[in-house]
Structure 1
Amino acid sequence: MATILVDLDGTLLPLDAWNPVFAEICKAIAERAGAPPDEVWRRAREKNLILMRRLDWRAFDWQQLFDAVAEELGAGRAPSVLEVLDKHLPRFRPTDGALEALRELRAMGHRVEIATNGHASYQLPVIRRLGLDEIVDGVRTSDAYRCPKTCPQYFQDADLMVGDNPIFDVYFPKRFGLLAIFYGDWEREAAEHSRRLAISIDAVRPDHVVKNLKELPDAVRRVLALR
């Protein structure tokens, strides 16, 4: 059987689940700095993007990013990301069909691991809250490998990557010999992420595309049958 890696944010968890966390942090920094919250968020995202374009795993250390923005704006340190996250975690919900898909993949005999660019300190509380820790065989985070989903050691011993990011969940996995199933609108997301990260992926295609995680087990069967 195969080792299947499944992305967390944007795949097993809707991306907008994090919006209240980031909004509260931006608001707190903005109040101290006398700046609009949108300006705080713009600066944090800019720093995130600069590091992502360097393929730097620190792009996903939100505490460091917000601390840097707060210091620039003369607001001291940012609020604790973990403390703010803990307040909002009770409202986090998995993507429709996520739990069922993971359970079915394991019932098929596959090893299933969560593979995220996020750091363990932020992601493990989310994984436990969603109950994902009870139905996966492992978790891979960028800080554990000192690289995001862009280096061969991250994908070692894996056969298939599933996720919503064309760069991290398709381009790099396929570069290192994995199969890839994309979750979402491939044409739209491929163009957007290629532009943002300045990486051309015109010659790359996922092995399958699903629009709903309920389709994932069947997609995995089809893709693995082609090996």
Structure 2
Amino acid sequence: MSPLLLFDLDNTLVNRNQAFQGWAMRFLSERALPPGDLRWFTTLDCGGYLDRAVLIRAAVDRYGLSEPIDDLLEDYRTTVTELIACPADHLEALRLARTEGWVLGIVSNGATEQQWAKIRRTGLDELVDGCTVSEEAGCAKPDPRIFHLAAERCGMDTAADWTASAWMVGDHAPADIAGAAVSGMRSVWIDHGRSWGETGYRPTLTARNLPEAVALVLAEEDLHRTDRGRYPRGYSWRSGSRPGNRSGPGSGGPVGPGVLPRAVPGVLPGALPGSRSAP
């Protein structure tokens, strides 16, 4: 069975926060409001986890606006979609994973219409095998059901142990990393310069950005394949430690002998496994 690599969408594959700030700056400028209030918007936004209607109502109240909330919401959705972008090095990282035989999927919490608009606008729909959005799926991360559905939509045989070679990459710990943990997958947390703050679960690996996350996964899977040939039959990747170089699976130790990480645009070789382990 081919290995599966699932990705979060916002602030993982695409720069959602940058698009939000672009909308907020336009909102302030068009109404001759203080540009310094951008901080108020970004604080209230909570990285996209505050309901959009709540955010818009708060802005209407703050500035005494008479504009209909529905019109402002529609302008928000349209503007953010127009401003969304997937960096070129992210697209190259996905292409690299495809050439290495990985099945790729997107699993995102959010509204179906808007999330799909982002996926299509950035061309991500042409690079992945399946997309799953919580609204249409009827379940949301970290619910294991949405990951199972995402795997099915990517063509995986979920009657078999599809999680054995499956990874989840994302920036939001409670949704992406906790979801991977309860679903039996390994995970990479994109930290965006943050420190890990959860105590009940941890990512397998941590990366600074998406290209590094993909490079780590490819290198780790290479090491996994090497280990299968090196250690006795019955050795468990997920439950046993690797003799001589790791204290447990995904602990971020050095890459094994003869296993070289893939070259990913924008990622220095010295920044790969051995320097970026789980926090």
Could you tell me the TM-score, scaled by structure 1's length? 0.70
1:177 CA drift (Å): 1.0
Q: Which residue of 1 aligns with 2:109?
A: 117
- Say if 1:111 and 1:30 are closer, same or farther in 2 by CA, change over 3 A: farther
Q: Which residue of 1 aligns with 2:22?
A: 20
Tell me the SS of whatever aligns to 2:106. Answer: strand
The answer to whether the 8 Å contact 2:81/2:114 transfers is: no
The more displaced of 126-135 and 158-167 is 158-167
Tell me the SS of whatever aligns to 2:139. Answer: coil
Aligned AA for 1:6? F
- For each residue in 1:47-99, what CA deviation from the matched residue of structure 2 results, as whole angstroms up to 9, or x when unmatched? x99xx6xxxxxx5x52x334654786774424343444434544432135210
Q: Which residue of 1 aligns with 2:4?
A: 3
1:208 equivalent to 2:205? Answer: yes
Aligned AA for 1:17? A
Among the aligned pairs, what percent are the same residue? 25
1:203 CA drift (Å): 3.9
1:209 CA drift (Å): 1.5
The answer to whether the 8 Å contact 2:14/2:86 transfers is: yes
Aligned AA for 1:65? V
Following the alignment from structure 1 to structure 2, what is the Cα–Cα distance between the partners of residues 213 and 42?
A: 22
The answer to whether the 8 Å contact 1:173/1:179 transfers is: yes
Relative to its length, the structure with more helix (as a share) is 1
> Which structure is higher in RCO with an 8 Å CA cutoff and minimum separation 6?
1
- For each residue in 1:110-152, what CA deviation from the matched residue of structure 2 results, as whole angstroms up to 9, or x when unmatched? 2211122222221111111111111111212121233331211
- Correspondent of 1:151 among 143, 159, 162: 143
Segments of 5+ residues of structure 1 without an aligned counterpart are 53-58, 192-200
- Say if 1:129 and 1:82 are closer, same or farther in 2 by CA, change over 3 A: farther
1:165 equivalent to 2:167? Answer: no
Q: Which residue of 2 aligns with 1:220?
A: 217
Tell me the SS of whatever aligns to 1:154. Answer: helix
The answer to whether the 8 Å contact 1:66/1:78 transfers is: no
Report the number of matched residues.
Answer: 203
Following the alignment from structure 1 to structure 2, what is the Cα–Cα distance between the partners of residues 212 and 70?
A: 32
Following the alignment from structure 1 to structure 2, what is the Cα–Cα distance between the partners of residues 4 and 134?
A: 15
- Correspondent of 2:196 among 190, 195, 219: 190
Tell me the SS of whatever aligns to 1:153. Answer: helix
Tell me the SS of whatever aligns to 1:123. Answer: helix
Following the alignment from structure 2 to structure 1, what is the Cα–Cα distance between the partners of residues 196 and 100?
A: 30
- Say if 1:39 and 1:100 are closer, same or farther in 2 by CA, change over 3 A: closer
Tell me the SS of whatever aligns to 1:13. Answer: coil
Aligned AA for 1:18? F
1:39 CA drift (Å): 10
- Structure number with greater Rg is 2
The answer to whether the 8 Å contact 2:8/2:170 transfers is: yes
- For each residue in 1:148-207, what CA deviation from the matched residue of structure 2 results, as whole angstroms up to 9, or x when unmatched? 312111111462110111221212221221110112257x3433xxxxxxxxx2142211
The answer to whether the 8 Å contact 1:43/1:69 transfers is: no
